[in-house]
Structure 1
Amino acid sequence: MNMFLRSLIERLIRTGNLTVIDHKGRSASFGDQSGKRVTVAIHSAHAERAITFDPVLALPESYMNGEIDVLEGDLLDLLEVIYKNAPTLDVGAFWTRMADGFRHGLRRLQQFNTTERARRNVRRHYDLSRELYRLFLDTDLQYSCAYFARPDMTLEKAQLAKKRHLAAKLALRPGQTVLDIGCGFGGLGLYLARNLDVDVLGITLSEEQLAIATERAQQEGLEDRAHFELRDYRKLGERFDRIVSVGMFEHVGVNHYRAFFDKCATILKPDGVMMLHSIGRSGPPSATTPFIRKHIFPGGYIPALSEVLPAIERSGLEVTDVEILRLHYADTLKHWRQRFLANRDRIREIYDERFCRMWEFYLAGSEAGFRWQDLMVFQIQLTRRNDTLPITRDYIGVAEDRLADADEHRPHSPPATPTRKRTTS
């Protein structure tokens, strides 16, 4: 192992039990040997050099390319050792600090998400094979943080609880119009239309999501209550009683926060309510990790609340409730990762080994970020008037209980049907 990489690991790993085997078969141990033993093998000098100069990008890329393997423990165990030691790292290597500073300086350029660029970015991730998503998501294809009201919940029940939680905060009344910005595979919109007697317009930039959501509405006979379109939020002109957006704000980009909330304020009726559900960070503003930006979510960014709230204030919308979901997404990702690994052979048939390793790191890295770093999920409730909603939060629990009781006696919607096999470009 080159002396620079060894020095970097020695400075980082103070606790834990990490063994690294270099490309020549030489072994070195790091940490205080406490906890679970994790052994990593680096198979090439190229990977050693790359990790030395840019570990944040090179570690996941080396794993993705088969230049690194975890021989004892698993990927999540390795990331636990790294992330639990990261806060104790006093001075990183000069070149790694330079790389991080460079990325932070470029983040606004990287998030310049015009309408066409946003569409391309979305298609990179969400227009993958439908079968892929069915192999690791719940049966309703909810691709966002679940709500574990109880720790023993199944993924399906926790995702259903998430939909109830959002519906309760929207304070819906029969006959109202609802806009779902970034509707995903249609599960939330269909739930609202089916269970709360409202008219839903779901918009997405993903053709695959649009096709699935439309098929599901037709299968359930809900075409007259739930309609889905391929549209950008900036092109909307209609007005709505309610707006909900789940897992889409991460793709807006910090340059466009003001435009996003200004548009929402314009199309939300005077007595309307909006719910924004998004991944966020509890720490200060940062930059998207280079692996995620390059390989998973181009143009994506996880905001700090200090970046979001000023844009809301300038739009004229009023914040009426903020809830922070801390470990809910870590537990959601744990379920996704377990299901992904259980179906890994089939996923490799759809794509290839490199794709599987890329997504393994994405899922494990995301779970680790919510468990041991500063990632969380925020739900912000917004109105245009301060007298739109009750002055206590009691109505939320009452509505959730009512919906839960109804869900117990209602058959669930059918899962989405499979589609053609796709391959990556």
Structure 2
Amino acid sequence: MRLLSTLLRKFVQRGKMRVFDLEGTVHEFGSGEDGPTVAIRLHDKKLYRDLFVNPELAAGEAYMDGTMTMEEGSTIYDFMFLFSINRAPLGANPVQGALRKFWKAFRRRQQQNSVERAKEQARHHYDLSTELYRLFLDDGLNYSCAYYRTPEDSLEEAQDAKLTHLVAKLNLKPGMEVLEIGGGWGSLAIRMAQAGAKVRSLNVSPEQVKIAEERVKAAGVADQVTFVLKDYREFEGQFDRVISVGMMEHVGIGHLDEYFGKIRDVLTDEGFAVIHSIGRMTPPGTTGPFIRKYIFPGGYVPALSEVFASTERLGLWVCDSEILRLHYYYTIRDWRIRFEEKREDAKALYDEKFCRMWEFYLCAVELGFLHGSNMVFQLLLSKERDAVPILRDFIHENEQALTKREYADA
């Protein structure tokens, strides 16, 4: 425990951590002030070293495997909360600093996302059973940041507001051709079709496309929506609008120019794109080792400096930028709570280890949006400076009109 104790004494500056070692001895770190008290028990001597060397990965794997358990009423959320509020002192540790430099040096190699590799990595996450996602998502199976007008909005209200907000930004006119890059389970495609657009939706997940086609047919807009099982780099065409929601995070470092270049190439001169993605308000970094290994291999949350450097190189106008700071925190908060309520159903679909992995993932990303550097941004991009109305008023006006029509149709 000596090495691990050295790290934890410097790490736990807020709150308190109680660690039970293999002999049952309790080691306490932190004063307990300005944070929760969390108790854990270690069941494998190897964790003394692994947690010192790579705590972000080792803690997740130990929780998954059951070699680290929560004690005295503590939960994995409590543990992750304590971790998230003490990130600064952890990063200041010389060993952790060296580890982060190593990750950053090799981040491009980790994300060599060729077309086939990108497909494989996306399917790793999105070809899980749709029944799993039904346990914690809204009825529309929207698996991206919702739009909360108040923190107390229900998940269904916030996801509905997100769809309305995006369609309002598209400023659609009947008959417009829209390319959707990353179609999910079809909710946005349905909304765009209901607004009068003809939609071509790209997706590399056969499982998602199967469900999306069923939902589009049930909504009565199958003649307006076509799903295509292709990577964005494999597709050609010309469109009045392009929209991409929750997809750019999977592009990877070194591929932003390909992504924005494709958007530029498929847009008409008068058209524009709406991009919705997770970003970071800090300088360029790396993907956390647990998320990279188990959840989103090849994924990367870009800094805005990386995004704008790419749009600059490709000659795209950034006509509008909106930053959603806490909206994804509220979204994942609601997902996590629902997952906890349906945990036994998730265990029946997979197993206990899978549930622990999913718990660790949801807690980590939720707290990353509460205490970390993550946020969500929405951009309007065009080739011509006057493709987007010169005032943002059109977004609000379209939202009002869309909301009024939705109430009338209900």
TM-score interval for Structure 1 and Structure 2 normalised by the shorter chain:
over 0.9
User: Partners in 1 of 2:314 and 2:299 — Cα distance?
Assistant: 22
Question: Aligned residue for 2:100?
Answer: 100
Distance 1:338 1:296 in 2: 19
Letter in 2 for 1:273: F
User: 1:38 corresponds to which residue?
Assistant: 38
Aligned residue number for residue 117 of structure 2? 117
Give 2:205's aligned residue: 206
Distance across 2 between alignment mates of 1:180 and 1:218: 18
Q: Cα distance, 1:392 vs. partner?
A: 1.6
Residue 159 of structure 2: aligned partner: 159
For residues 16 and 51 of structure 2, the distance between their equivalents in structure 1, rounded to whole angstroms, comes to 19
1:327 maps to 2:330: no
> In 1, Cα distance between the equivalents of 2:357 and 2:53?
20
CA distance in 2, matches of 1:220, 1:164: 17
Offset at 1:42?
Answer: 1.6
Aligned with 2:308: secondary structure? helix
Distance, in Å, in 1 between the alignment partners of 2:28 and 2:387 is 60
Deviations 1:15-36 (A, max 9, x none): 2122222222111222221243
Contact 1:8 1:93 in 2 (8 A): no
Taking structure 1 as reference, are residues 127 and 89 closer, same or farther at Cα in structure 2, changes over 3 Å only? closer
Q: Is the 8 A contact 1:217 1:227 kept in 2?
A: no
**Alignment correspondent of 2:185:** 185
Partner of 2:269: 270
Deviation sequence 1:371-403 (CA, Å, 0-9, x none):
001011111111111112222211111111121
1:74 paired residue number = 75
Q: Corresponding residue for 2:359? A: 360
For each residue in 1:272-310, what CA deviation from the matched residue of structure 2 results, as whole angstroms up to 9, or x when unmatched? 110110011000101111111110001111100111111
- For the pair 1:340 / 2:339, whether they are aligned, the reply is yes
**Corresponding residue of 1:134:** 134
Q: What is the distance in 2 between the residues matched to 1:384 and 1:182?
A: 21
Q: Structure 1 regions of 5+ residues with no counterpart? A: 412-425
Q: 1:409 to 1:75 in 2, by over 3 A?
A: farther
TM-score by length of 2: 0.97
Please identify runs of 4+ aligned residues in structure 1 that moved more than 6 A.
none
Question: Once the 2 structures are TM-superposed, how far is the Cα of residue 76 of structure 1 from its aligned partner?
Answer: 2.2
Aligned AA for 1:46? K
SS at 1:255 equivalent: coil
Q: How far apart, CA to CA, are the structure 2 residues paired with 1:220 and 1:398?
A: 25
What does residue 86 of structure 2 align with?
85
- Partner residue in 1 for 2:217: 218
Secondary structure of the corresponding residue to residue 329 of structure 1: helix
The residue identity in structure 1 corresponding to 2:253 is V
Structure 2 gaps of 5+ residues are: none
1:90 deviates by 7.1
Q: Does 1:398 align with 2:362?
A: no
2:169 matched to 1:169? Answer: yes
For the structure 1 residues 200 and 169, does the alpha-carbon distance in structure 2 shift closer, same or farther, using more than 3 Å as the test? same
How many percent identity over aligned positions? 43
**SS of alignment partner, residue 112 of structure 2:** coil
Residue-pair matches, total: 408
Distance in 1 between the 2:89 and 2:26 partners?
A: 24
Match of 1:422 in 2: none
Measured in 2, the distance between the counterparts of 1:273 and 1:314 equals 17
Q: Which amino acid aligns with 1:280?
A: G
Letter in 2 for 1:38: V
- Give the secondary structure class of the aligned counterpart of 2:409: coil
Question: Where does residue 239 of structure 1 map in the other structure?
Answer: 238
Aligned partner of residue 406 in structure 1, secondary structure: helix
The aligned residue for residue 28 of structure 1 is 27
Structure 1 counterpart of 2:63, which letter?
Y
What SS does the corresponding residue of 2:163 show, helix, strand or coil?
Answer: helix
Query: Which residue of structure 2 aligns with residue 61 of structure 1?
Result: 61
Match of 1:305 in 2: 304
Q: Give, as a single letter, the amino acid of the residue that structure 2 aligns with 1:91.
A: A
C-alpha distance in structure 2 between counterparts of 1:225 and 1:100, whole Å: 47
- Taking the aligned partners of 1:153 and 1:311, their CA distance within structure 2 comes to 35
Cα-to-partner distance string for 1:23-69 (whole Å, 9 max, x where unaligned): 22111222221243221222221222211111121011111111112
Distance 1:353 1:89, change over 3 A: closer
8 Å CA contact 1:247, 1:277 repeated in 2: yes
State the 1:93 CA deviation.
4.0
Q: 1:227 — aligned with what?
A: 226
Shift of 1:89: 4.6
CA distance in 2, matches of 1:27, 1:180: 54
TM-score (norm. length: structure 1): 0.93
CA distance in structure 1 between the partners assigned to 2:276 and 2:188 by the alignment: 12
> Once superposed, what is the RMSD of the aligned Cα atoms?
1.3
Question: Structure 1 residues 90, 120: closer, same or farther in 2, change over 3 A?
Answer: closer
Distance of 2:220 and 2:298 partners within structure 1: 36
Q: In the aligned structure 2, how far is the partner of 1:100 from the partner of 1:357?
A: 25
Query: Which has the larger displacement, 82-91 or 154-163?
Result: 82-91
Answer whether contact 2:142 2:187 (CA < 8 A) is retained.
yes
Instruction: Measure, in 1, the Cα distance between the counterparts of 2:187 and 2:176.
Output: 18
Matching residue's letter, 1:117? R
The answer to whether the Cα contact below 8 Å between 2:186 and 2:212 also exists between their aligned partners in 1 is yes
In 2, Cα distance between the equivalents of 1:97 and 1:87? 11
